[in-house]
Amino acid sequence: MNGEITTRFGIRAVADFCIEHDPRGQCCGGWPRDLLEIHLRYYHNFGSVFLVRRDEQLVGVGIGWRCDERDLGRHWTAWKGCGDCFYISDVVCSEGTAVQTLVDGLSSRCPDWRSLKLFAQRKGRIRRIGVKFMEKLNGRKEDEQTVS
């Protein structure tokens, strides 16, 4: 794999983006760069890293995976194709519309997400989020593209 998230963005560039656009460390735990790179590489190997580019620039990073509800809160959990929920671990965007494109990427990678229980980390706690909330976020911009 040689550290590549995609053919366009290397692991270091994705980690730099996360650090730059999450200055309070609320996503990706405010981790040191070496641990963040390991985290990104691990989840990329399971298809759980979603990247958004606009005009060849990285504008959004999302990390999420399908799992069983009993696995929520456990670190280093791999994508489980038959899991009963989808967990959104981290979202870091430099532009608000990139979130919409991340939801679009989720739809292509996990088409049945609407039938799953959805969870996200909010204010330090894992909370259930509604399908209607996610649907409001859907609707990517035409000049944005999910690339991972």
Residue-wise pLDDT for 137-148, tens only, equals 765 444 444 555
Task: Confirm if 42 and 3 have CB atoms less than 8 A apart.
Answer: no
Number of domains in the chain: 1
Q: Tokens for 14?
A: 């994705």
**Structural domain harbouring 108:** 11-146
Question: What does the pLDDT look like over 30-45, one tens digit per residue?
Answer: 788 899 999 999 999 9
Partnered with residue 60 across adjacent β-strands are 52, 93
Domain membership flag for residue 2 = no
CA atoms within 13 A on the CB side of 124: 1
What is the token pair recorded at 109? 């990678």
* 3 lies in some domain: no
Whether residue 103 is contained in a domain is answered as yes
- pLDDT, the chain, mean: 83
46-62 per-position pLDDT tens digit: 889 999 988 889 999 99
Between 63 and 143, the higher pLDDT residue: 63
- 6 belongs to a structural domain: no
Q: For residue 127, with 0-12 CB atoms within 10 Å meaning exposed, 13-18 middle and 19 or more buried, which class applies?
A: exposed
